Amino acid sequence: MGKVGKEKPSVGRAAPYRHVGVQLKHGGTGYDFGQHLLKNPLVTVAMVEKAAVRSTDVVCEVGPGTGNLTLKLLEVAKRVVAVELDPRMVVELQKRVQGTPLAPKLQIIHGDFVKAEQPFFDVMVANIPYQISSPLVFKLLSGPPFRCAVLMVQREFAMRLCAKPGDELYCRLSVNTQLLARVDHLMKVSRNSFRPPPKVDSSVVRIEPRHPKPQVNFVEWDGLVRLCFGRKNKTLPAIFNTKLVLAMLDANLRTHCALAGKPVPDTPIKEIVAEVLRSVGFEEARSAKLDLDDFMRLLTAFNSRGVHFC
């Protein structure tokens, strides 16, 4: 199966782990290192069940490794598209299905999922390399439609994906992901379910994209959210009234006015910001407590006054 985590080599470490003749890499660069293969069959079966894979589905798996999860998916799906960066794992996966009835149902793409063109699929089920978790999730949610993704990720990353306003781990990742998808925490997975065990526990999450996608400029939305979560426990006036932020908003205002052929307002940008925050009742609000609707109201109020974040 796929690889998770990333550990640096240390002096005196035991001999490298091997799996079906393949030495698992640890340390180095690139996410084909830090390889930890899922050995618990109950977790594999549960992931397939939670994804509710249909016999007509094309399933995508990122980081299949030697194929423990892949074989389970091939048994129930119409076709499996496995994207693997490590050429040694590609060879092992090919060997594992060669000459079996499952072989025609498997398509292997040797490459980097984050950088490559996204293949068509209905469902993704994967034990993804931890270090590409965030870019992979946002590539998924910004790409072609799919029904759902059931992903094994580092437990803290899972908690951030699912965090709600007021939670300690509530952050920009939480807000941006939940804008585009419904995220559910399905189960915890002990580090002892892997060979060799990583240094952290894992979780399985289910991500279901919102259809239709919210009608919002995501680049601008992210600009606002990034700014707010730079100091999430400060009040919004304390965040927006710094010299750097006011200068940025003023420059954006002037640029948008010029592009629209409109005159720049006479009201100073600091007063506009204060009026916007007052209009939505956020003079004492803090980013850590705002939900999706709050951020949407805030963005709409700023945009109505010609203030933009990109």
Annotated binding site, which residues? 36, 38, 63, 84, 112, 127
CB 16 within 8 A of CB 10: no
CB 49 within 8 A of CB 187: no
CB 89 within 8 A of CB 66: yes
Ordered alpha helix ranges (H), the chain: 41-51, 68-76, 87-97, 133-142, 155-162, 172-180, 218-229, 236-240, 243-260, 269-279, 292-304
E strand or H helix at 79: strand 79-84
How many Cβ atoms sit within 10 Å of the Cβ of residue 261?
6
CB 285 within 8 A of CB 235: yes
Radius of gyration of the chain measured on its C-alpha atoms:
23
Residues in the chain: 310
Token look-up 């200068």 returns 247
Report which of 62, 79, 86, 208 is spatially closest to residue 148, judged by C-alpha positions. Answer: 208
CB 92 within 8 A of CB 62: no
Please tell me the distance from the alpha carbon of residue 284 to that of residue 275, in angstroms, as a whole number. 13
- Going by the annotation, the residues of the binding site for S-adenosyl-L-methionine are 36, 38, 63, 84, 112, 127
